[in-house]
Amino acid sequence: MIVTIDGVAASGKSSVASGVARALGVPFVSSGLLYRAATLLALEAGLSLEGAPALLAHLEANPLRLEPLAGGNRVWLGGRDLTDDLHSSRVDAGVSAVARLPPVREWVNAQLRLLPDPFVAEGRDMGTNVFPHADAKFYLTASPRVRAERRARERLEDVPAIEAALVERDRRDAGQSAPAPDARIIDTSALSLEGVIGAVLAGLPARTA
Ligand SMILES: Nc1ncnc2c1ncn2[C@@H]1O[C@H](COP(=O)(O)OP(=O)(O)O)[C@@H](O)[C@H]1O
Ligand SMILES: Nc1ccn([C@@H]2O[C@H](COP(=O)(O)OP(=O)(O)O)[C@@H](O)[C@H]2O)c(=O)n1
Q: Which pLDDT value is given to residue 208?
A: 65
Q: Tell me what percent of the residues of the chain surpass a pLDDT of 70.
A: 99
Residue 206 or residue 36, greater confidence: 36
If you take atom 10 of ligand 2, which residue's CA is the nearest one? Answer: 32
Q: Is 7 annotated as a binding residue?
A: yes
Q: Is 78 annotated as a binding residue?
A: no
Q: Which pLDDT value is given to residue 157?
A: 84
Q: Which pLDDT value is given to residue 156?
A: 80
If you take atom 11 of ligand 2, which residue's CA is the nearest one? Answer: 32
Q: Which pLDDT value is given to residue 207?
A: 65
Per-residue pLDDT of 42-92, as tens digits, reads: 999 999 999 999 999 999 999 999 999 878 899 999 999 999 999 998 999
Q: Which pLDDT value is given to residue 120?
A: 97
Residue 209 banded pLDDT, cuts 50, 70, 90: low
Q: Which pLDDT value is given to residue 162?
A: 94
Q: Up-side HSE of residue 17: CA atoms within 13 Å toward CB?
A: 34
Q: Which pLDDT value is given to residue 78?
A: 94
CATH 3.40.50.300 given to domain 2-195: yes
Ligand 1 within 6 A of 82 CB?
Answer: no
Q: Which pLDDT value is given to residue 70?
A: 78
Domain definitions of the chain by residue range? 2-195
Q: Which pLDDT value is given to residue 155?
A: 79
